[in-house]
Structures are given as C-alpha cells and as structure tokens.
C-alpha cells in the first residue's frame, strides 16, 4: 500500500466531514458518503468511515459513531439515513422511507447493523469507550430482536430491500418484483409501511412480506459477539449463537454450498448467488468445512467470484450478473470495496494468504488508477457511480 493512497484517503474523509449543531440543539459530526451525491449520514457507511478514520484521527472515528447513536429512536432503531444538516429536498424526499412524506429528520427504516462491530474496532481496547457504548448498543440490538424477529426463529428481518444496503440486488427481483427498489412500485411499498408506522408486526400480519437476509443477519451475529466481548453479558453471545445456528439450519444450501435469504410468504430460500451468500465466511464459529466450501468453490473460483478486480457483488455465473454501470440499479455485479473488506480477513485466517493478497492488491491498484469510486467493473477495473466515495477508503484498512 503506497503512502500516497493513505494520504488521498485521509484527504477524502476530511473533505467529506460535516459537523455542527442541529436546530434542536443536538451536535453532530459525520462523513458524508459522497459530497454531491450522498450529502446525509448513512448507517453502514458511517460504520465503515469510522473504521478508516481510526487510522488517521481516532477522535473523529468516535464522533462519527456517537453521532449515529444520537440519531437512535427511543425504541432503538438506528435510521438508515439521517438528515442532520438539512432535510431532504422535495425532489428526493419521496424516495426516503420516512415517517411523514416531508419534514422528517431521519428515515424510519434501518440498515445493515454493523454498529457494534465498528464500535469495538474504534475502541481498540479502550474500556472506557467500550463501556460508553454498551447501553445504547444494547438498546439497538434488543430492538432488532424484539421488533425484527416476528417468527422468533433467531433471524432478524428486513422490511425494505435497501435495509440490507444492497438496494437493487438481483436476489430481490423475484421477492419484490414491481415493488423493488428503483421500480415505480417502491413508492407504494414505502407508503404501505408508512401507513402502518413501520411496525414489523403490523406489516407482517397484513402482508406477510419480509426477508430474512443473510448479510443483515451476519452483521447482526458479528455485532452481538462484539457486544458480548465489550459488555461481558452472556445473553448477547447466546443470541449470536442462535442466529448462527439458524443461518446454518435454514439458509445453508448443502448442494450448492451457499447461504440464501429466506423470503415470505413461503419462507423459501431465494437461490441467487450474491456476495451476501458468501458473508457467513466471516462467522468464525461456523463449521470449517462450510467456510472452506464458500472460499474454494465460490470466492476464489474464477468462474464465480475470482474476478481480476476485487470481489463482485453477484456471481459472474448468474444470468443477472452485470459488471458495469446501470443508472438506476446497483449491486448487480460490480465490485465494491466493502465486499472484499468483509471477506479478506477470514480468507487470511483460513490460510488463503496469497489469494487474499491478490484481491487487496487488485483493489489498491485500481483505486490508485481510477480514484475512490463507488464501485468498479470486476473485469476491467473501470470506476462507476459516485466519485470520492467514502467507504472505498476501506482499502487502507485492508
């Protein structure tokens, strides 16, 4: 990794930093994912930013996470998007899943729950910062358990496709159809939830429509383990183990060697191979044989995910795989830096050091040549989407 890349990453994060005091007196400090395209605070983006900030300015890393915590609802929902510096303008407001059509300070839905993972990394062993986090983090993860697991099977659900952060992933095509993200019906899907106050129980009772998403549950289990280490409370470990056991029992497809989401009404597995299907590789408590199958038969297979640049968001073998840009549809093939960020450490831990190094090098070279773009063509390295994209600096963390 060149020093130049580190300097550029730090400069990018500094340029995206926003701080101030909201009209109600709440202080904030966060990095916007991309100054022109994404001016607000996004949940999992902020976790990634904080993870990189800790290398340059630990104070900002902590402030970014504290700001997320300040956005939490009394029940424990951490919003997907928070409009600290100004409410969403009229043109964009209708596309956000907010409680009221205009004037909301944050959305009423959430995003992949990585907060405790980020908190532990940013604390870096500082017991005082860990203790500061335990109360609010417990509130967030308790809310996920009580609100988002209506069938009580240990797996939490998403109510809208963008709650996983993988907005337009082809794994949702057959589940949401015309109600999918970036389809006109998405407005109606949001409106339906709005009318029910985003109550999972009310929505599931009326429409029986939710997804037990693999990526979302992997983040949940990783976070519960982090929260257990920080708090010492056994209930978080028990819950992590329960989610992991449920992933193995209900989402693992022994024949294909992949994990698949469960979608209602039938709770059948949605057998589209995406990055999400591979993410249980990060759960070190799963059987080693399962993790090695994910690594060898998928992540490192040049026909599937072993691309020249990074780790693609969809298997190159899937008919829906699109390596390049699509104005309204993302997560349908390109490599994002966070796909590698989650999978490279477990690859190293399982002994695939050379392969892991190759993936990191391919990304570092690409970022040096093309800049910090939102995502990259896994075959050619061409950069797409937003420029100066915050979490692409994760390459520094790798």
Binding site for ligand GLC (CB under 6 A): 33, 38, 42, 44-45, 165, 167, 330
Closest CA to 20 of 86, 88, 78, 98: 86
Nearer to ligand GLC (CB atom), residue 39 or residue 133: 39
CB of 187 to ligand GLC, least distance (A): 16
CB of 54 to ligand GLC, least distance (A): 20
Residue 203, phi then psi, degrees to nearest 5: -70, -45
Nearer to ligand GLC (CB atom), residue 160 or residue 330: 330
Nearer to ligand GLC (CB atom), residue 35 or residue 306: 35
SS3 116: helix
Instruction: Convert 296-334 into a string of H (helix), E (strand) and C (coil).
Output: HHHHCCCCCCCCCCCCECECCCCCCCCCCCCCCCCCCCC
Residue matched to tokens 């899937």: 318
CB of 165 to ligand GLC, least distance (A): 3
Give Cβ neighbours of residue 192 (< 8 Å, ≥ 6 apart).
203, 207
CB of 61 to ligand GLC, least distance (A): 18
Q: Count Cβ neighbours within 10 Å for each residue of 32-67 and write b for 16 or more, e otherwise.
A: bbbbeebbbbbbbbbbbbbbbbbebebebbbbbbbb
CB of 38 to ligand GLC, least distance (A): 5
CB of 164 to ligand GLC, least distance (A): 8
383 strand-pairing partners: 376
Nearer to ligand GLC (CB atom), residue 306 or residue 324: 324
CB of 186 to ligand GLC, least distance (A): 13
Residue matched to tokens 């994912």: 33
Nearer to ligand GLC (CB atom), residue 42 or residue 83: 42
Closest CA to 249 of 280, 279, 209: 280
CB of 238 to ligand GLC, least distance (A): 30
Q: Please give the sequence-ordered ranges of beta strands (E in DSSP) within the chain, or none if there are none.
A: 17-21, 27-31, 41-42, 81-82, 211-212, 252-253, 258-259, 262-263, 268-269, 375-376, 383-384
Residue 195 to residues 101, 192, 198, 264, 342, Cα–Cα distance (Å): 11, 5, 8, 20, 36
Nearer to ligand GLC (CB atom), residue 164 or residue 362: 164
Nearer to ligand GLC (CB atom), residue 215 or residue 286: 215
Residue 292's CB: how many other CB atoms inside 10 A?
15
Nearer to ligand GLC (CB atom), residue 8 or residue 166: 166
Q: In angstroms, rounded to a whole number, what is the distance separating the alpha carbons of residues 102 and 90?
A: 7
Residue 84, phi then psi, degrees to nearest 5: -70, -50
């Amino acid at each position: 990794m060149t020093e130049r890349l580190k300097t550029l990453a730090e400069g990018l994060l500094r340029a995206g930093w926003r701080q101030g005091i909201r009209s109600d007196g709440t202080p904030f400090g966060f990095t916007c994912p991309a100054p022109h395209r994404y001016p607000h605070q996004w949940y999992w983006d902020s976790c990634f930013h904080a993870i990189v900030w800790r290398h340059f300015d630990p104070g900002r890393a902590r402030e970014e996470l504290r700001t997320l915590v300040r956005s939490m609802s009394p029940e424990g929902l951490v919003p997907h998007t928070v409009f600290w510096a100004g409410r969403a303008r009229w043109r964009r407001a209708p596309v956000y899943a907010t409680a009221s059509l205009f004037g909301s300070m944050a959305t009423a839905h959430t995003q992949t729950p990585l907060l405790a993972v980020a908190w532990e990394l940013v604390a870096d062993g500082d017991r005082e910062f860990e203790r500061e986090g335990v109360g609010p983090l417990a509130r967030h993860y308790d809310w996920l358990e009580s609100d988002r697991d209506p069938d009580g099977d240990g797996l939490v659900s998403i109510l809208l496709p963008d709650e996983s952060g993988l907005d337009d992933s082809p794994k949702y095509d057959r589940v949401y159809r015309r109600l999918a993200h970036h389809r006109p019906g998405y407005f109606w899907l949001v409106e339906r939830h709005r009318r029910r106050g985003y109550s999972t129980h009310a929505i599931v009772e009326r429409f029986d429509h939710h997804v037990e998403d693999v990526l979302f549950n992997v983040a949940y289990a990783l976070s519960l383990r982090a929260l257990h280490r920080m708090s010492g409370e056994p209930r978080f470990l028990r819950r992590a183990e329960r989610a992991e056991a449920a992933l193995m029992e209900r989402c693992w497809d022994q024949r294909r060697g992949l994990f698949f989401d469960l979608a209602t009404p039938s709770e059948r597995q949605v057998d589209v191979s995406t990055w999400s299907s591979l993410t249980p590789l990060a759960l070190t408590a799963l059987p080693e044989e399962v993790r090695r199958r994910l690594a060898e038969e998928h992540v490192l297979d040049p026909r599937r995910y072993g691309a020249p640049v990074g780790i693609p968001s969809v298997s190159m073998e899937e008919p829906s795989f699109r390596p390049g840009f699509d104005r309204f549809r993302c997560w349908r093939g390109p490599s994002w830096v966070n796909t590698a960020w989650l999978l490279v450490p477990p690859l190293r831990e399982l002994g695939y050091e050379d392969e892991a190094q190759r993936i990191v090098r391919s990304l570092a070279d690409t970022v040096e040549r093309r800049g910090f773009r939102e995502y990259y063509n896994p075959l050619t390295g061409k950069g797409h989407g937003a420029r100066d994209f915050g979490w692409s600096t994760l390459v520094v963390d790798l």
